[in-house]
Each structure stands twice: as structure tokens, then as C-alpha cells.
């Protein structure tokens, strides 16, 4: 199976972001001919004020970002893992940060809501308070992609190995990690964490990311980019250049089996005392 990651520089303009996503998916289909395409976190809208986020949010099914990915999956007969989209919650002021996956017929096959909220003060002093606008999800989500079990995570989830252990317990072969990692944390932590999770899972880790600058209120913030695919041995087998673009590789099921047979960690798990 061939997979393609889409690296974007989304902004606080939903229509422009969706036009960019459409163009990049169409380009990926023409150039790479993948079986599975994954977009980055909040590809539909990033930054802006809380009010602008609420205005940009959509209900599922339907909504412009949802419908775009569904349409293109059906048109090109390709799986599309729609990064994440800002989802409205009925009766709530907060929102969900939600991944939706579509099969080759455009049918929804998975919906994952980001569990871990990015509430930190970064080394450069920038304050992030994701939980002020977003409500965390609770479910561990996987789906079948023609015999490949794909697990779902989003960005900050990367720092919580117990989530990835839960995905390992569900037998994942690949984890999709759409992200918008900050520049200041990404330059030190992004690749090492992606490789570590792939090694722990003995599975592929596919991490499409946002790149470049965007406005968040009166601040200009920078995302790290460097979308990458790590294999089950922790090798980075594909990586995006700077700027908007694509990166692709083939998923090798025999590679997964070989790594798991060499170091059979699943058989060596023990139940620790409380």
C-alpha cells in the first residue's frame, strides 16, 4: 500500500485552506498515485480568535471540510484520513478537534476526537490553552484499511505513550498522527518522539504536519513542518522538505512482521503489581 502525507500552511481563512487541500490532494493523486492520503491537524482552520474558531467549525456529517474529503475519496477511489477538522458540539461552546477517515467509496470509516489538550507555556514564552476552546475526546479509535489496521492520534497525543500502548493492544500496523507541532518544541522533540512511538509500536508512524506561520489573535505563531513517516524499526523512510508539499512511501507488511519476530515485545509484556 502506498501512503502520501500532505504538508500544509493553513491559515485563518477556511475557504482558502480548503482550496489548498483540494489542490494538494489532486496533485498527490496525479503525481504519487497513493492508496491512502493523510492531511495535517486542523487543515481547515488554524489560529484566529476563539470566536473565529467557533464560526469556522462544522457539524458531521456534512460541512465543507468533511464533504471535500468525502468527495475526493469517492472521486479518486482513495482512502483519505482528513487530518483534523474543527467540529461543533451540540449544546457546547467548546469544540472537538476531530479526525475523520473515508474509504475509497467515500464512506466514513472512523472518527477520532483528540484526547490530550495542549495547555502549556512554551520555552519562548508563548502560552497555549487548547482546553479553553476544545473539549477532549475519550475513545481509542482504529479502522481497517484493506487489511491494514490504522490507529488514530493527533499532535500532542504523541507525548502520551499509554495511548500508543492502547493502540498496540488493538493490533495497529500504522498510526496516523496529523499535527501542528510548534517550531520551538518541534526542532527538539518532533522526530525523536515520532521515532520512539514507531519503535514502541513496531508499526509505521505517519505524521503529516503544518508548516510556516499563522496568526493567533495578535500573535504570529510558527509550526515546525517536517512531516515524516517512520518505519517499525524507527527509521525515517520519508520526510517532507520545508514548505507546502507531499511525502510518500510504501507500507511493507513483511517489514512489520520481521521486526515483531526479531523483538517479540508483545509476548514479553508482564502485568505489573499495583
Closest by CA position to 229, among listed 221, 218, 238: 238
In the DSSP assignment, the letter for residue 247 is E
Question: Which residue of the set 38, 41, 145, 152 is catalytic?
Answer: 41
Q: Does the pLDDT of residue 46 top 90, yes or no? A: yes
* Separation in Å, CA 158 to CA 36, 141, 181, 188, 259: 21, 15, 10, 14, 21
Domains of the chain, earliest start first: 2-263 (3.60.110.10)
How far is the C-alpha of 84 from the C-alpha of 179, rounded, in Å? 8
Quick one: pLDDT band at residue 241, thresholds 50, 70, 90?
confident
Q: Span 190-202, mean pLDDT? A: 98
H or E stretch covering 38: strand 36-38
Among this protein's residues, is 38 annotated catalytic?
A: no
How far is the C-alpha of 198 from the C-alpha of 240, rounded, in Å? 18
Q: Does the pLDDT of residue 71 top 90, yes or no? A: yes
* Separation in Å, CA 205 to CA 170, 236, 254, 260: 15, 9, 16, 15
pLDDT of residue 172: 98
Q: Span 139-152, mean pLDDT? A: 98
Burial-class residue 89 by CB neighbours within 10 Å (0-12, 13-18, 19+). middle
All cell numbers assigned to 160: 502520551
Crossing angle (nearest 10°) for helices 161-169 and 183-201 = 30
pLDDT of residue 125: 80
Among this protein's residues, is 114 annotated catalytic?
A: yes
pLDDT of residue 274: 84
DSSP structure string for 66-111: HHHHHHHHHHHT-EEE---EEEE-TT-SSEEEEEEEE-TTS-EEEE
How far is the C-alpha of 168 from the C-alpha of 26, rounded, in Å? 33
For 100-134, what is each residue's pLDDT tens digit? 999 999 999 999 999 999 998 888 887 888 998 99
Which pairing describes strands 95-102 and 108-113: parallel, antiparallel, or unpaired?
antiparallel
Question: Which residue of the set 14, 38, 69, 114 is catalytic?
Answer: 114
pLDDT of residue 142: 98
Q: Does the pLDDT of residue 176 top 90, yes or no? A: yes
In the DSSP assignment, the letter for residue 119 is E
Q: What is the mean pLDDT of the chain?
A: 96
Q: What percent of the chain has pLDDT over 70?
A: 100
DSSP structure string for 255-274: HHHHHHHHS-GGGG------
pLDDT of residue 138: 96
Burial-class residue 153 by CB neighbours within 10 Å (0-12, 13-18, 19+). buried
- pTM of the predicted model, to two decimals? 0.96
Q: Does the pLDDT of residue 24 top 90, yes or no? A: yes
Q: How many CA atoms lie within 13 A of 68 on its CB side?
A: 25
In the DSSP assignment, the letter for residue 148 is E
Among this protein's residues, is 194 annotated catalytic?
A: no
How far is the C-alpha of 221 from the C-alpha of 12, rounded, in Å? 12
pLDDT of residue 65: 98
Q: Does the pLDDT of residue 205 top 90, yes or no? A: yes
Q: Span 9-37, mean pLDDT? A: 98
Q: What percent of the chain has pLDDT over 90?
A: 89
Residues in the chain: 274
pLDDT of residue 242: 84
Question: Which residue of the set 145, 155, 194, 206 is catalytic?
Answer: 155
For 178-188, what is each residue's pLDDT tens digit? 999 999 999 99
Q: Does the pLDDT of residue 216 top 90, yes or no? A: no
Amino acid at each position: 500500500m502506498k501512503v502520501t502525507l500532505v504538508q500544509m500552511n493553513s491559515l485563518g481563512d477556511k475557504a482558502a485552506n480548503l482550496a489548498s487541500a483540494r489542490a494538494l490532494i489532486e496533485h498527490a493523486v496525479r503525481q504519487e498515485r497513493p492508496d491512502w492520503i493523510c492531511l495535517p491537524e486542523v487543515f481547515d482552520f488554524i489560529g484566529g480568535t476563539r470566536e473565529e474558531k467557533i464560526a469556522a467549525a462544522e457539524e458531521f456529517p456534512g460541512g465543507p471540510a468533511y464533504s471535500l474529503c468525502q468527495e475526493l475519496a469517492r472521486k479518486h477511489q482513495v482512502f483519505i484520513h482528513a487530518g483534523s477538522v474543527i467540529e461543533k458540539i451540540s449544546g457546547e461552546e467548546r469544540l472537538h478537534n476531530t479526525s475523520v477517515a473515508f474509504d475509497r467509496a467515500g464512506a466514513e470509516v472512523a472518527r477520532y476526537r483528540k484526547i490530550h489538550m495542549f495547555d502549556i507555556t512554551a520555552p519562548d514564552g508563548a502560552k497555549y490553552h487548547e482546553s479553553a476552546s476544545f473539549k477532549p475526546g475519550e475513545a481509542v479509535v482504529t479502522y481497517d484499511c484493506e487489511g491494514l489496521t490504522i490507529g488514530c492520534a493527533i499532535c500532542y497525543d504523541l507525548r502520551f505513550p499509554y495511548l500508543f500502548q492502547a493502540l498496540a493492544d488493538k493490533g495497529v500496523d500504522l498510526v496516523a498522527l496529523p499535527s501542528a507541532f510548534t517550531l520551538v518544541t518541534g526542532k527538539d522533540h518532533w522526530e525523536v518522539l515520532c521515532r520512539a512511538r514507531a519503535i514502541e509500536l513496531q508499526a509505521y508512524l505517519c505524521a503529516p504536519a503544518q508548516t510556516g506561520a499563522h496568526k493567533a489573535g495578535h500573535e504570529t505563531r510558527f509550526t515546525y513542518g517536517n512531516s515524516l513517516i517512520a518505519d517499525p524499526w524507527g527509521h525515517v523512510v520519508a520526510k517532507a522538505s520545508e514548505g507546502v508539499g507531499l511525502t510518500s512511501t510504501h507500507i511493507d507488511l513483511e517489514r512489520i512482521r520481521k521486526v515483531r519476530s526479531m523483538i517479540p515485545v508483545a509476548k514479553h509484556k508482564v502485568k505489573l503489581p499495583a
